[in-house]
Structure 1
Amino acid sequence: MTPSAQTAALAGPPDPALDTEAAGGLKQQYNLRSAFALAFSDVSPIVGMYGVFALGVITAGPAFWWAFPVVLVGQLLVCGVFGELVSRWPLQGSVYQWARHLIGPRYGWFTNWAYMWGLTLALSALSFAGSGFLLGALGVTGFSRTEQALTALGVLLFGSAANMIGGRFLKALLYVSLTAELIATLGIGTVLLLAHRSHSFSILFSGEGTAHGSAWLTGPFLGAVAIAGWSFVGFESAGSIAEEVKESRRVLPKAMALALAAVGILVMYASLGILLAMPDIGDVLSGKDADPVATTLEAGLGSATGKALLIALVIGFAASLMAVQAAVSRAIWAGARDRALPGARFLGTLSGKERVPRGAIALTAVVAGSLLFISAEKIYALLLSFANAGFYLSYALPVLGAVYVRLRGTWEPGEWSLGRWGKPVTYAAAVWIVFESVNIAWPRAVNGVWYLDWGLLIMTGVLGVIGALVYWSVSRPGHMPSVTSK
């Protein structure tokens, strides 16, 4: 294969008209409501709040709450750029396709590599955390790590089965999750604010001794912004199923923005209620209270709320897992369709009545499931830490690509556009995403072990080297097998 032909193969199909035949046999079975439900479940207010609350309070005190609006505004800027990109290129794989069309196949390939690993590692984190809540809801106590890993594997297999069955079943589960999360987060925030408030609003301006003045802003608060960054990722998942969405050029920008804004408001509202109702902030800061969300709810609403909270957490984490897997499997399938991944014939095959990439789904289940059984907990934490950096790195590359194209004056908008706000929003989004990526990856002495404090940079380097080797193997002449659909 000549270099030009090789580049064309890696670049994949041209900008298509996107009917079902142009989409390679994919069925367009999603609309605005179901695309919104997918993105909402991926970001997940329950996961976004519960996953960072305790660590945020420990890092910066109650004033960590202000990190939420800071991150939300930054991510809405990124979402605006992504809205323009998905309207221009509504193709499976979201960030992969956008980066590939903006800069070129190699740039897109490495964007997809970061995205695939970030989301696959996130599957392990979500299934492992969800398994602990599931065991608690079932009344199981004192379980071993192996028992939790086996339960997590069951959660992962359930999510994988839902994705393999296809759109109708998956959408039904996502609608159930969306309803449960809306009720849970709105209910928690409202009841605690109206009936169980223990502190005045002034507590939101207290670092509780974590630091003072400018030292708090440049230390604990920056750490809180890095932590809160984990709460508002996943909205691009609606773009990952672009070729399965009807009227995608107009629908997807709305779905992504609405999902991100809705989750952001819910997270801030519920977190505000919990902060103002916490019975003892000192216990949280000292580490004595490792689960301040559960403690606050039990103190305010009684112990009977404990099981209800666990059930809500199981639903939230399971739904987020299914949405994340739907997004990453489409990114893998898109790379396989472009013959840019090993095993392209298997990974690029669609099967079943609803034409889903079951091979790609199975691969994510195998990789994520294997990580659950790593016995060394600190090594496991190191692997999962890259999930956060993987998201932000894969966000940064297409945003920087959009900046490059705009600076060259070659940008052509799709059906949906920010108009005259396009340039300032793109440039502001680039500043934000680079800042937050560096902030998240910055080595902070919080784990007490050097290779964990530097874990994100180490994992980025290791996976970057592996990615370069894989890219070299698939880009060589004669190493791009054809892709079939059965």
Structure 2
Amino acid sequence: MSAVEEAGRKAGQTELLRDFTATSAFSLAFAFISPIVALYSIFTVGLTMVGPGFWWGFPITLAGQMLVALSFAMLVSRLPLEGSIYQWSRHLLGPTYGWFAGWAYIWTLPIAIAAVSLGGAGFLAQFLGLDSTSKPVTIMLALALIAGITLANTIGRKFLKVIIGLCIVAEIIGSIGLGIVFLGLYQVNDISVLSEGVIDPATGGFMLPPLLFGVAIAGWAFVGFESAGSIAEEVKDPQRAVPKAMIYSLLFVSTIVAFSALAVILAIPDLAAVRAGSVADPVAATIEHHLGPVGLHFMTATFVIGFIACMVGLQASVSRVIWALAREGDLPFAKTLAKLSGEDRLPVNAILAAAVMSLVFFALSFTNIYMMLLTFTTAGFYISFLFPALAAAYERITQGVKPSSFNLGKWSGVVTITAAVWLIFQTANISWPRFAELPWYENWAVLLVVSILAVLGFIVRAFLPKR
């Protein structure tokens, strides 16, 4: 019996409705990655900590992540199952290995939602003319955003498609449109500024430490393409549709992010002030300098929509992973979490559970613990990716080629193994303690949080029914 047939047999009355198309899967992955969130969440950090040369982290990270996307595309064409990372790992190396893959992913995504809700609340406050530095304002708006995306995810697939479609239009205006305007009309700096911070003036070669930090920063920008696999059992002809959605979403978003970043860097009126940390928000300052308050207000609206789109995609993805684990009896309250509701047969209880988890992490956003969790978030994606990537590489080495609808022929093994090596490198690169001035628990936050989650995972796993 194939993995797909096995999933259908176990689903019974909880079989999902196949109402998403290849375009829907692409759109969800596009929204999850979100060019606006991908870029503007890391832009200020990259400029101030590395310099304009942090831009080189984008093409390097894209090359590595494209290997991962191709490897995952081969996996999902064989195993088009809800829950993506969890299911692939489970079917390749067994239930326990798969469970910990799902466990890592389930923790990563709600933390990301909480973080993105804070960023979105800041832009929303600016758009509404409220004090974006006020904690009560930030709290109320962030909670409203989480409530809004939860409603969007539970009301029905058709409504969800419309929301994501509108968000993508806003993303394109806010990223591509702004980039074209800046490059065409408001270029201030020469492209040679991209050497600042990463090129040694004496030798003309790359300086490895800042370049690696730029790659680590860019790591946040190119995750989320795997979310198309999280809804595989809701997609028509998933063996062919989902691999394309993964690859195209990564290619489109990465191109937009790199283009927009280049345009903004070249349009910044005072790079020295930005590098010195004198400009709190270089993107907003650059937009207002060139386009005035009206232009800034319009662009802020597109930024808000971009953050909402990202949150919708994040919550949809994690809810499907929760549902997939619950269907297998791999979570507490499994029967409740595996229930599907309404004519659209949506995992409403799993969506609500994801919302509650996000609210818990949001409540921690005003503590030092949250900084540790936030540091873990980017690394958490790559750690989660490592589970199926390592399993796929092991299978390729020990068992050879497996037939799939999507494959790369003689290059399949090279891509699969190299993707795993890249993920090991990038996980270590992101987790590396670079700042001696920080408290030890923040410098080693990734290792510390991983250790805590691993121990907690073993405890939870011990109380689950043996399978």
* TM-score in terms of structure 1 length: 0.92
Superimposed CA distance per residue, residues 173-222 of structure 1 (whole angstroms, 9 cap, x where no aligned partner): 00001111112211111111111111111111221899976996321111
The residue that corresponds to 2:296 in the other structure is 306
Match runs of 1:393-408 below 5 Å? 393-408=383-398
The residue that corresponds to 1:431 in the other structure is 421
Match of 2:186 among 179, 196, 217: 196
Q: Is 2:122 the partner of 1:132?
A: yes
Match runs of 1:145-294 below 5 Å? 145-207=135-197, 217-294=207-284
**Aligned-residue identity in percent:** 42
The residue that corresponds to 1:106 in the other structure is 96
Looking at structure 2, the residues matched to 211 and 58 of structure 1 have their Cα atoms a distance apart, in angstroms, of 19
User: How far 1:475 sits from its partner (Å)?
Assistant: 4.0
Contact 1:239 1:252 in 2 (8 A): yes
Looking at structure 2, the residues matched to 251 and 142 of structure 1 have their Cα atoms a distance apart, in angstroms, of 41
Q: Secondary structure of the residue that 1:374 maps to in structure 2?
A: helix
User: How far 1:385 sits from its partner (Å)?
Assistant: 2.1
The residue that corresponds to 2:33 in the other structure is 43
Q: Secondary structure of the residue that 2:316 maps to in structure 1?
A: helix
Which amino acid in the other structure matches residue 74 of structure 2?
Answer: E
User: How far 1:26 sits from its partner (Å)?
Assistant: 0.8
Looking at structure 1, the residues matched to 116 and 342 of structure 2 have their Cα atoms a distance apart, in angstroms, of 27
Q: After the TM superposition, which of the residue ranges 450-459 and 319-328 deviates more from structure 2?
A: 450-459
The residue that corresponds to 2:320 in the other structure is 330
User: In the superposition, relative to structure 1, how do residues 375 and 329 fare at CA in structure 2: closer, same or farther (>3 Å)?
Assistant: closer
The residue that corresponds to 2:4 in the other structure is 15
User: In the superposition, relative to structure 1, how do residues 213 and 232 fare at CA in structure 2: closer, same or farther (>3 Å)?
Assistant: farther
Q: Secondary structure of the residue that 2:5 maps to in structure 1?
A: coil
Q: Is 2:330 the partner of 1:344?
A: no
User: How far 1:14 sits from its partner (Å)?
Assistant: 3.8
Superimposed CA distance per residue, residues 382-419 of structure 1 (whole angstroms, 9 cap, x where no aligned partner): 22222212111010111111110001124413211111
Greater helix fraction, Structure 1 or Structure 2: 2
Looking at structure 1, the residues matched to 401 and 395 of structure 2 have their Cα atoms a distance apart, in angstroms, of 6
User: In the superposition, relative to structure 1, how do residues 140 and 439 fare at CA in structure 2: closer, same or farther (>3 Å)?
Assistant: same
The residue that corresponds to 2:17 in the other structure is 27
User: How far 1:450 sits from its partner (Å)?
Assistant: 1.9
Q: Is 2:352 the partner of 1:353?
A: no
Contact 2:175 2:260 in 1 (8 A): yes
Contact 1:18 1:243 in 2 (8 A): no
User: How far 1:300 sits from its partner (Å)?
Assistant: 1.7
Contact 1:61 1:210 in 2 (8 A): no
Match of 1:442 among 432, 453, 459: 432
The residue that corresponds to 1:72 in the other structure is 62
Superimposed CA distance per residue, residues 252-283 of structure 1 (whole angstroms, 9 cap, x where no aligned partner): 00011000000000001111111111111111
Q: Secondary structure of the residue that 1:459 maps to in structure 2?
A: helix
Which amino acid in the other structure matches residue 146 of structure 1?
Answer: P
| Equivalent residues, number | 466
Gaps of 5+ in 1: 1-11, 478-486
User: How far 1:234 sits from its partner (Å)?
Assistant: 0.5
User: In the superposition, relative to structure 1, how do residues 443 and 293 fare at CA in structure 2: closer, same or farther (>3 Å)?
Assistant: same
User: In the superposition, relative to structure 1, how do residues 16 and 23 fare at CA in structure 2: closer, same or farther (>3 Å)?
Assistant: farther
Superimposed CA distance per residue, residues 62-117 of structure 1 (whole angstroms, 9 cap, x where no aligned partner): 11111100001110100000000000000000010011111111110000000000
Q: Is 2:366 the partner of 1:368?
A: no
Looking at structure 1, the residues matched to 112 and 426 of structure 2 have their Cα atoms a distance apart, in angstroms, of 19
Q: Secondary structure of the residue that 2:38 maps to in structure 1?
A: helix
Superimposed CA distance per residue, residues 338-364 of structure 1 (whole angstroms, 9 cap, x where no aligned partner): 001111011111111111111111111
Contact 1:133 1:314 in 2 (8 A): yes
CA RMSD of aligned residues (A): 2.1
Contact 2:122 2:132 in 1 (8 A): no
Looking at structure 2, the residues matched to 201 and 149 of structure 1 have their Cα atoms a distance apart, in angstroms, of 40
